[in-house]
């Protein structure tokens, strides 16, 4: 990856992530879950991390580093294009929230200014005859691909498929952790609203205030996120004491975190933990979150065993798809300017 010369960066006090040993965020080797050798043992560690932190590093996932590196290389090559070429694939041109968005298009923290990042969003690439497309479900359809970039598409499709399989295995582990049938989530995630976001954060210099950072404080909207981040770091996670903890990259590991829908499903037992990104490396930062979210019509309501005796569930039931769509409507400016699908 290309880099620029290191430059001076001065963060305001409220933006500094406290440097702690990386195992403040648990590291879970899931090789025995992927292989099926010891699903219960891995599931117990997944459940512990989900309840205490809402974030974990995952190793032993089986995704080759060469595949991850190839996707990073294609993402960087796309973001290196002139702006007018990238804008030709603008997300507003496509009816199902796929394509490029420029710096300040997304605002993950509505109390602050928009995010200092650009991105390219991909989903399940569905043809016109797919049942979801025939039914007219929002957020379902074909991807918008950049022109003259067959390697970009081929690499993205392979990477997307691999992460989708990993998402399925993780959901099996979380089902076991919740004392549910291991297959409990299968019919709720067999047509998932999965999304791969390729992101580029320009370096920040000088004095940085909370109103101008790479990605504002937020919880993810869906079920779980599988994040590949480059060596430059910048991710911070807020603990229950309100402290921002640096979450530096670990070679060979994905960062996995849970979103709003998993918190709602588990009645708050599993944590949807706030996080943000500040690129103080002095270099271009690239990251690739894969959002593995349930089928459009999946009902997100309190799961068996997550009730608190004598108390109503903390969250009202919602449908996964409309909830996700509402969050996109709140955070993308183009969706506030026109009818969105």
Report mean pLDDT in 10-residue bins for the chain, 341 residues: 55 68 76 97 97 95 98 98 96 95 90 88 97 96 94 98 98 98 98 98 82 89 97 92 90 97 98 93 96 98 95 96 92 73 48
pTM of the model: 0.91
Reference 115, options 221, 211, 233; nearest CA is 211
The pLDDT, as a whole number, for residue 21 is 35
Cα–Cα distance for residue pair 80/102, rounded to 1 Å: 13
The pLDDT, as a whole number, for residue 8 is 66
Instruction: Map residue 165 onto helix, strand or coil.
Output: helix
Cα–Cα distance for residue pair 333/115, rounded to 1 Å: 11
Cβ–Cβ under 8 Å, residues 196 and 293: no
Could you tell me if residue 139 is left (phi over 0), alpha (psi between -120 and 50 degrees) or otherwise beta?
left
Cα–Cα distance for residue pair 98/89, rounded to 1 Å: 9
Cβ–Cβ under 8 Å, residues 234 and 214: yes
The pLDDT, as a whole number, for residue 109 is 87
State in words which class domain 9-337 has. mainly beta
The pLDDT, as a whole number, for residue 3 is 43
The pLDDT, as a whole number, for residue 274 is 94
């Amino acid at each position: 990856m290309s880099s620029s010369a290191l430059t001076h960066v001065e963060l305001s006090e409220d933006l500094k992530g406290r440097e702690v040993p990386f195992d403040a965020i648990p590291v879970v080797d899931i090789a025995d879950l992927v292989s099926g050798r010891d699903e219960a043992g891995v599931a117990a560690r997944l459940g512990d991390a989900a309840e205490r932190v809402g974030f974990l590093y995952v190793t032993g996932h089986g995704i080759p580093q060469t595949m991850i590196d190839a996707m990073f290389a294609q993402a960087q090559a796309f973001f290196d294009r002139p702006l007018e070429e990238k804008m030709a694939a603008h997300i507003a041109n496509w009816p199902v929230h796929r394509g490029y968005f420029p710096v300040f298009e997304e605002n993950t923290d509505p109390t602050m200014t928009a995010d200092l990042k650009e991105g390219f969003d991909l989903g399940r690439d569905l043809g016109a005859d797919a049942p979801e497309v025939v039914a007219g479900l929002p957020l379902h359809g074909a991807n918008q691909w950049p022109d003259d970039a067959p390697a970009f598409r081929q690499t993205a499709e392979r990477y997307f498929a691999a992460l989708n399989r990993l998402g399925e295995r993780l959901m099996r582990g979380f089902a076991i952790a919740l004392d549910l049938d291991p297959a409990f989530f299968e019919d709720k995630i067999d047509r998932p609203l999965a999304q791969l976001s390729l992101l580029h954060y320009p370096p920040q210099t000088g004095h940085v205030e909370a109103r101008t950072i790479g990605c504002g404080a937020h919880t993810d909207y869906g079920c779980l996120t599988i994040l590949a981040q480059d060596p430059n770091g910048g991710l911070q996670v807020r603990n229950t004491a309100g402290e921002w903890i640096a979450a530096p990259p670990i070679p060979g590991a994905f960062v996995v975190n849970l979103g709003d829908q998993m918190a709602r499903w588990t009645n708050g037992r599993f944590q949807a933990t706030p996080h943000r990104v500040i690129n103080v490396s002095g270099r271009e930062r690239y990251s690739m979150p894969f959002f593995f979210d349930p089928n459009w019509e999946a009902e997100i309501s309190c799961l068996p065993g997550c009730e608190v005796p004598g108390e109503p569930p903390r969250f009202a039931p919602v449908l996964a798809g409309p909830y996700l769509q509402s969050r996109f409507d709140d955070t993308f400016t183009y969706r506030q300017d026109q009818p969105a699908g």
